[in-house]
Chains A and B, each alone.
Chain A
Amino acid sequence: MTFVHQDVWHWQIAAYLFLGGLGGSTFAISAILHLFEECDKKTLSIAVLSSLGFLALGTIFLLADMLQPMKAMYALTNPNSWIFWGVIFINFYFLAAIVYLIPLLEMWPNLLPVIKKIPANILELLEKFNRLAALVGSAAGFLIAIYTGLLISAAPAISFWNTPALPLLFVISGFSTGAAYLLWLTSFSSNAMSDQVMDKLEQLDAALIVSELVVLGAYFNFAFFLPTGARESAEFLFHSPVFIVGFFIAGLLIPLAIESYGIFFTKNSKKSLSLIKTASILVLIGGFLLRLYVLKAGLYQYPW
């Protein structure tokens, strides 16, 4: 039996997985906040716009890593393939996100002339389906986040990946990065509601980090269970300082500490914005490192 590090997918794909999770969850969280809570429309529109940007960038990373990106449309051939579904989800997402975004943009006076150029009946339709678009986009965003995990879990010989825990981990981590990003974004808002939103996001992120820790615990426990490639992978990660320090300590524990401190010991008014910003950025960096290192730790278990 031989364990061999996969040498197929590198940082570009890690970036794709990261941006996919981030973009999908950013949209889903913001749309849901919008649907069920009060929030600042301007910040919301920036959030939605950036989620589009994240996914577009992620897709560029994916295409750049391909041998024949010009033929990417062929990817819509085989529904047994996760990439097929990835493409579907992303396209649904783009459609829904744009439908959802355009009416939001009316918040920006500078953009009004442009928006006014859109025929009124279409704009009306967009307004009408705004909530639906929010729901569809959120669902698609959620699916994208989970798809990033499913994509790499379809590797029978990479036992570290070949587990349902991985999509779960990726979706939780994805939403945590989304929440962190929104937290960071909101911290710039001077809007009255933003403090409340920040509280919510802070709680959400903390909760997600705690769940992520639980899932990680289970995941590594499973990995160490049998003398397989998964154990080798887990050991590899335990021996990677960047993973331990960058992801686990700086990307999970420190933000959790900061956020817990914020939740339990400070009142809204007294919150330190710079601490919050630091925590958010750490979560984002951690999210990328998680994907990068999970890819790096992908060990084929060959029977020879």
Chain B
Amino acid sequence: MIEIAIHKALNGQKGKMILDLDFKVEPNQITALYGPSGAGKTTAFRIVSGLLMPEKGRIVVNGETWLDTSRKISLSPKERKIAYVFQDYALFPNMSVENNILFAAGKNPDKNKVKELIETFHLYDLRNQKPQNLSGGQQQRVALARALIQEPNLLLLDEPLAALDNEIRVRLQDFLLEIQVRYSLSILLVSHDIAEIHKLAKHVLHILEGNIVKSGSPVEVFTGKVSENTLNVYGKTLSIDRLKNRITVLVNQEKLILDISEEKILDIKVGDLIMLSFSTENTEIYTGIK
């Protein structure tokens, strides 16, 4: 179990704000932090990784206390078994892909582990390239491999897929799920993308102005409903045919044409996110998803 409680006064873009979070992260699963920019998500990451000191706080990871301001305990980033994938990946431009991973591995790198990661992340042909010569998706894979070589007890991903185009994004989401299971990773993920959170995370914390306003499964947080025997799929509205009461929705790179009731079609604009909820009894369409 990972327990995180932090309290810090911030000078944000919108003036003063108190970051006050208290939550638990189940091990071996992905927990998402969701909220607008400036809500304090990245600051929370900086505190958890040890880059920033909160006024009050307690962080316990798998029984090990990383931070407890009441007992004046604060482990340095080096002593925390943590890895952080930055939004811009922060790959070192002066090192090749392989050397980026080796540098993160430390003084006596486990050669087999490095080799295994390079193969798992499909980086073998790219291992001698400099990061700036790689595409966004490839850079993201290097950043993840470099994080995993550190064998973290907690992996922080700050909008890891935000800079990628849709197709690669979907592929990397699948890949991320695969490695999360394979290496039993405990992951904290910052994301703005509801569909992505829904796909990846078991648990989501909705953060507004430094506070957790909602937490639960993605379905609970985003629709207020508890899912039982249902499957929820998000899609983007591409076009609306008001004569036939039909909409075209992009779901997982596929176009889906839906017949929809007359009153519901009035709620929808092109570009809106909708949620399709398939249950064993019927199929519901939710509009107005933010």
Co-complex (A, B): no
Chain B interfacial positions (CB closer than 8 Å to A):
none
Chain A interfacial positions (CB closer than 8 Å to B):
none
